[in-house]
Amino acid sequence: MDAPVGLRWPTVADRQLRADVHRVLHAVAERGGAIGYAVPPGRAETDAWLDSVLSLVRAGDAALALAVLDSRVVGTGLWRRGPKPIFAHYADLEKITAHPAARGRGIGRLVTGALVDDARRAGIETLALGVRGNNHGAIALYERLGFREWGRLPNVIEVGDERYDDVRMCLDLGRPPHVVLRGSAPDGPGSSPRRP
């Protein structure tokens, strides 16, 4: 019987955690995963990323979820709050990964579902993410979790000489009852009339 995959929610990083996170991010990028690296990152790059994320975690502006199997990190994901003050209710999901050796164990679903629940508890109203257009498995997973596509930038993700769509998806997590949704109504603060 396979060991269960668990979750860790770190706020600080020791040497082992840094090594584990680097191992996962490097392996995913090396296999062509669209996680923000044109080439597989070095240890200094992933350490700097981890330090910046954990600083946001301690400030309440992010959460980092790590999937753990047999005491080793095998997946990552985070939500990161938008810039304050006007986007503090909004967050992006980033770096949802599973180490190639641990694929097929539901890590993406586990990490993403946990991040959605955590973001909701933190008062996030809208989660958004970007996914490379050829990553149909991830798109299907996000759709099963309730995300919907709201747009795409065609052929903007560069992988060498190839270009892929950046598919943008979002999930509404709900709002307090006093919040008024105005959308694109032509009134309210900062509005202006459309000119012919």
pLDDT at 162 over 70: yes
Q: What value does the mean pLDDT take over residues 147-153?
A: 97
Q: What pLDDT score does 185 carry? A: 80
Per-residue CA distances from 173 to 98, 126, 133, 145 (Å) = 25, 6, 24, 12
Q: Which whole number is the average pLDDT over 86-94?
A: 94
Going through the chain in order, the beta strands assigned E by DSSP cover 6-8, 62-69, 72-81, 90-98, 126-132, 148-159, 162-172
Contacts of 13 (CB under 8 A, 6+ apart): 21, 50, 51, 54
User: What is the C-alpha separation between 113 and 93, in angstroms, rounded?
Assistant: 11
Q: Band of the pLDDT at 192, cuts 50, 70, 90? A: confident
- Mean residue pLDDT of the chain comes to 93
Task: Tell me the whole-structure pTM to 2 decimals.
Answer: 0.92
pLDDT greater than 80 at residue 2: no
β-pairing, 90-98 with 126-132?
parallel
Q: Which domains are seen in the chain, by residue range?
A: 6-172 (3.40.630.30)
Q: What value does the mean pLDDT take over residues 147-154?
A: 97
